[in-house]
């Protein structure tokens, strides 16, 4: 190799890199190339000396730093690099979710129809929840004295603005202690279906096109009327209205999926529900560790005054502000209305367990609920 060929390797050698053996041998034996190598080193030194004369200068004023803001416009429109594998996985996930969603919708079986059945004459009510699944839903209402109104409702179509219903209904007077009476009081267990079939055996179904939100009155075979009023939901309502009607009697009290709050502190939720309709309808709940609270629609000894408005009761006790929430209206009649609340320091003494979360502690007339709490 000659000097011209070796020149680039001199520069590389100066940068601390290894060079081919031939080039190294030439540089070792060539005074010209060694001189070039020395010049490079001197140049570097001179450059550093130049720099050292200015590097101690005081820094100028730092530029004004603008407030950093998240630039959503840029963030949303900026392009991002996505590996093909990740893109494939993403597309696969989207496809899978779409199929899964479709499957879930297919499994859900369509819209839900939640409705109340009531006897306008007695104000007795019961709630139901169904789909267009061709199955009968039963309800039994008081019709005065020992008479009962039996109703069977089947939805053949449930749409957002229209529900097609088949309804069988009749008045009957079950014999005391009979299977019919037990079925009508929901006390027959697994044998009730057979008995109920017998109750409605010879009733001709009536067909209706029902518009959700309206009240549909249906003549009852044997006299009287029943009313249907309900709504359509895309998803199954989180609580079953079957035992907790959306519209209550003025003398009725009910709780479903209730929760208690004291001065913005969440004390707990009560699963399930309960209702009472009596002379002074009352519901007791145990809220550990505070004790038991009893809510009644009429004043009673030791109770404080509260205000009920649809799904809430507000009351003040011992300097604390309480709110009782319910997923359904707590009572019927004109809202807001007065309600009375009593607090017992302890849950029923007979309980062998101490609940960790709020639970029901009796429903019925106030005297019965208070008796239960004292037992």
Given the rule CB under 8 A, which of 60-68, 103-111, 213-221, 252-260 is the region that contacts another protein? 60-68
Residue among 65, 76, 106, 175 that touches another protein (CB under 8 A): 65
- What strands lie across the sheet with 148-158, from one edge to the other? 137-142, 148-158, 163-172, 206-210
Q: Which two tokens stand for residue 316?
A: 């003040």
If one asks whether residue 19 binds another protein (CB under 8 A), the answer comes out as: no
Would you state the structure tokens that stand for residue 234, as one six-digit string? 């895309």
| Half-sphere exposure for 156 (CA within 13 Å, toward CB) | 9
Binding mask 28-47 for another protein (x = CB under 8 A): --------x--xx--xx-xx
Options 21, 29, 56, 207; binder of another protein; rule CB under 8 A: 56
Residue 150 to residue 129: CA distance in whole angstroms: 17
Q: Does the protein bind another protein through residue 48 (CB under 8 A)?
A: yes
Instruction: Give the shortest CB-45-to-another protein separation in angstroms.
Output: 8
DSSP secondary structure, 207-263, as one string: EEEEPTTSEEEEEPBTS-EEEEEEEEESS--SS-TTSS-SS--TTEEEEEEEEEEET
Q: Is 11 in the site for another protein (CB under 8 A)?
A: yes
Does residue 313 contact residue 339 with C-beta atoms inside 8 Å?
Answer: yes
Q: Does 62 bind another protein (CB under 8 A)?
A: yes
Integer Cα distance of 370 and 343 in angstroms: 10
Q: Which is nearer to another protein, 55 or 350 (CB)?
A: 55
175 lines the binding site for another protein (CB under 8 A): no
* Closest CA relative to residue 144, chosen from 121, 126, 127: 121
Work out which of 4, 54, 177, 345 binds another protein, going by CB under 8 A.
54
* Binding of residue 2 to another protein (CB under 8 A): no
Residue 18 beta carbon to another protein: minimum distance, rounded to whole angstroms: 13
- CA–CA separation, 208 and 295 (whole Å): 40
Residue 238 touches another protein, criterion: CB under 8 A: no
Say whether residue 15 binds another protein (CB under 8 A): yes
CB of 15 or CB of 301, closer to another protein: 15
Cis peptide bond upstream of 289, omega within 30: yes
- Window contacting another protein (CB under 8 A); options: 59-67, 182-190, 196-204, 211-219: 59-67
Of 8 and 336, which CB lies nearer to another protein in the complex structure?
A: 8
User: Backbone phi, then psi, for 94, in 5-degree steps?
Assistant: -60, -45
Q: Which residue in the set 55, 190, 214, 238 belongs to the binding site for another protein (CB under 8 A)?
A: 55
The Cα–Cα gap between 214 and 228 comes to: 8
- Max CA-CA distance within the chain? 129
Answer yes or no whether residue 145 interacts with another protein by CB under 8 A. Answer: no
Which residues are at the interface with another protein (CB under 8 A)? 7-8, 11-12, 14-15, 17, 36, 39-40, 43-44, 46-51, 53-60, 62-63, 65-66, 68
């Amino acid at each position: 190799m000659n000097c011209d060929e070796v020149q680039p390797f001199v520069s590389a050698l100066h940068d601390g890199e290894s060079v081919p053996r031939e080039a190294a041998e030439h540089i070792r034996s060539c005074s010209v190339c060694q001189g070039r190598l020395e010049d490079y080193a001197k140049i570097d030194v001179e450059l550093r000396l130049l720099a050292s004369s200015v590097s101690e200068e005081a820094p100028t004023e730092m530029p004004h730093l603008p407030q950093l803001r998240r630039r959503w416009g840029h963030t949303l429109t900026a392009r991002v690099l996505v590996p093909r594998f990740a893109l494939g996985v993403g597309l696969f996930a989207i496809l899978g979710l779409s199929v899964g969603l479709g499957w879930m919708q297919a499994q859900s079986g369509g819209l839900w129809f939640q409705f109340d059945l009531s006897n306008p004459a007695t104000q007795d009510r019961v709630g139901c929840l169904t789909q267009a699944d061709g199955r009968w839903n039963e309800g039994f209402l008081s019709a005065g004295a020992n008479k009962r109104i039996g109703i069977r409702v089947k939805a053949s179509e449930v749409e957002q603005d229209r529900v097609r219903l088949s309804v069988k209904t009749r008045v009957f007077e079950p014999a005391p202690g009979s299977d019919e009476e037990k079925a009508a009081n929901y006390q027959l267990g697994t044998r009730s279906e057979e008995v109920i079939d017998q109750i409605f055996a010879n009733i001709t179904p009536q067909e209706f096109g029902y518009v959700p939100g309206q009240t549909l009155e249906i003549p009852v075979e044997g006299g009287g009327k029943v009313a249907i009023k309900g709504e359509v939901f895309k998803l199954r309502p989180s609580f079953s209205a079957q035992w907790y009607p959306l519209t209550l009697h003025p003398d009725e009290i009910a709780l479903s999926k209730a929760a208690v709050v004291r001065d913005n502190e969440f004390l707990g939720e009560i699963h399930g529900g309960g209702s009472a309709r009596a002379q002074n309808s009352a519901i007791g709940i145990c809220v550990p560790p505070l004790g038991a609270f009893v809510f009644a629609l009429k004043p009673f000894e030791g109770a404080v005054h509260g205000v009920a408005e649809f799904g809430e009761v507000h009351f003040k006790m011992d300097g604390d502000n309480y709110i009782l929430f319910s997923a359904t209206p707590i009572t019927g009649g004109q809202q807001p209305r007065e309600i009375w609340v009593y607090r017992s320091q302890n849950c029923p003494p007979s309980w062998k367990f101490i609940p960790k979360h709020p639970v029901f502690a009796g429903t019925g007339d106030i005297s019965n609920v208070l008796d239960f709490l004292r037992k």
